[in-house]
Amino acid sequence: LKAFEGDKVLRILAKNEDQISLLQDLTEMDQLQLDIWKEPTHPTLPVDIHVPFESLQSVKAFLEANEIEHYIMINDLQALIDEERHEMQSTRF
Amino acid sequence: IEPRNTDNFDYAQYHTLDEINAFMDMLVAENPNLVTKLRIGSSYEQRPLYVLKFSSGPNRPGFWIDTGIHSREWVTQAAGIWFAKKIVIDYGRNQAFTAILNKMDILLEIVTNPDGYHYTHTTNRMWRKTRKPNPGSSCVGVDPNRNWDAGFGGPGASSNPCMETYRGPSAHSESEVKSIVDYVKSHGNIKGFISIHSYSQMLMYPYGYTKTPVPNQPELHDLARRAIANLASLYGTKYTYGSIITTIYQASGGTIDWTYDQGIKYSYTFELRDTGRYGFLLPANQIIPTAQETWLGLMTIMQHTKDNLY
């Protein structure tokens, strides 16, 4: 079973088209292995990105350097998956 | 402990593929005069692709609803189960719904991407695509919502098999897609088609592959407005609406662009609840509220379709 320990999902709120463009550049950085839950399209829509633990520092640095507003939507993806699995199993019995 | 009938089924929990298949069998057994289970094809890994057909008489036009084409969007499959039960409960009891089912069949595909769904339960909860290997690549799967013959290969889909929006080698290359294509064509009389996704709280109509407005845009736009107003009347959930390309982004090869181009005027795609907290991991206690409010939106579209058969 694939594990996501320490992975976070960030909700990113771009202010303008320039920031959207920067976020599009970010999502194309293959080495970060980002999973884009909601793509950067225009400033009225939030961008959600599942960031592997190993890429967190790079992504945070990128966002902060470009003054792009963001917050942690899911602090530990694996913990949430575990919770979901536990709930499925416990109700089954 | 397995439920013995669909009244005992736990609609407020997520379920495995086997449990969903067992649910469908129970529903058919309990309602033999109303529900039949059609097998429209097989997935890449040879899982059956089932459609529940709700019909109160012969030779009716059809109204299609599918859930779960993106496997990790678990609330959609769960909502599909709830819709199935809602249909058998409301038929003969709810006047408005009974009138709909007395005029149109409802075709409901609860698990549109069964290989992907099974994979989310056994291997990778975050899997979105199909599970067909891509020759020459170590990356697996195609985005079945970029694989339709509607602007296929254009902007808004990827040609890279490692991307989540990989369109596939050719239009309808995925058996999960081709099976629907074949069924829709052979049916020949489907008047409404709704494909359900999560999460963004949107109701959208074609097109996604071009900015050219569809000829029926004013009607589809007004119907979407009414549908989301009805949806919001239950819990106040706010939806946005419009064409795919203007509401969210350019996406080529999408499901409802193809269905619209096949002449199915009332083609829509839903994006269900976004709480801003859980993404694809919407807690199970929100399944029923999500399904309930979505049903109101569906009712608006189904009623309008019934009243405006073309």
What are the Cα distances from residue A92, in Å, to B118, B153, B167, B287?
18, 44, 37, 17
What is the sign of the dihedral through the CA atoms of A65, A52, B254 and B101? negative
What is the sign of the dihedral through the CA atoms of B5, B11, B12 and B15? positive
ipTM value for the complex: 0.96
Give the mutation candidate from B19, B71, B75, B126 for the A interface (greatest A CB count, under 10 A).
Answer: B126
Tell me whether A69 touches chain B (CB under 8 Å). Answer: no
- Chain B contact set for A9 (CB, 8 A): 279
Say if residues B210 and B254 touch (Cβ distance below 8 Å): no
H helices present in chain A, as ranges: 17-27, 56-65, 77-92
Which pair of tokens denotes residue B244? 């795919």
Pairing mode, if any, of strands B105-109 and B240-243? Answer: unpaired
Helix (H) or strand (E) run with residue A53 in it: none
**Residue whose entry in the numeric block shows the structure tokens 């097109």:** B207
pLDDT at B191: 98
B284:A9 CB<8 A: no
Rounded to an integer, what distance in angstroms lies between the CA atom of residue A44 and that of residue A60? 21
Which pair of tokens denotes residue B197? 């996704």
Rounded to an integer, what distance in angstroms lies between the CA atom of residue B197 and that of residue B192? 17
Which residues of chain A from 25 to 54 reach within 8 Å of chain B, CB to CB? Answer: 35-39, 41, 45-46, 48, 50
Rounded to an integer, what distance in angstroms lies between the CA atom of residue B242 and that of residue B268? 10
Rounded to an integer, what distance in angstroms lies between the CA atom of residue A68 and that of residue A56? 15
What is the sign of the dihedral through the CA atoms of B284, B269, A34 and A51? negative
Helix (H) or strand (E) run with residue A8 in it: strand A8-13
Say if residues B217 and B225 touch (Cβ distance below 8 Å): no
Nearest C-alpha in A relative to B73: A37
List b or e across B36-70, with b for residues whose CB sees 16 or more CB atoms inside 10 angstroms. Answer: eeeebbebbeebebbbbbbbbeeebbbbbbbbbbb
> Which residue pairs, CB below 8 angstroms and at least 24 apart, start in A45-48?
A45/B200, A45/B248, A46/A11, A46/A12, A46/A13, A46/B276, A47/A11, A47/A12, A47/A13, A47/A14, A47/A23, A48/A9, A48/A10, A48/A11, A48/A12, A48/A73, A48/B279
Omega of the bond prior to B199 within 30 degrees of 0, cis?
yes
Q: Which amino acid, one-letter code, is at B254?
A: G
Along chain B (310 residues), what's the average pLDDT of each consecutive run of 10 residues? 85 96 97 98 98 98 98 98 98 98 98 98 98 97 98 96 96 98 98 97 98 98 98 98 96 98 98 96 98 98 98
A88:B280 CB<8 A: no
Say if residue A92's pLDDT is above 80. no
Tell me whether A84 touches chain B (CB under 8 Å). Answer: yes
pLDDT at A91: 79
Nearest C-alpha in A relative to B162: A30
B279:A84 CB<8 A: no
**CA–CA min distance A79, chain B (Å):** 11
Rounded to an integer, what distance in angstroms lies between the CA atom of residue A65 and that of residue A72? 17
For B172, other C-beta atoms within 10 Å of its C-beta total 19
Nearest C-alpha in B relative to A39: B249
pLDDT at B1: 59
Q: Of the candidates B12, B6, B82, which has an alpha carbon nearest to the alpha carbon of residue B286?
A: B12
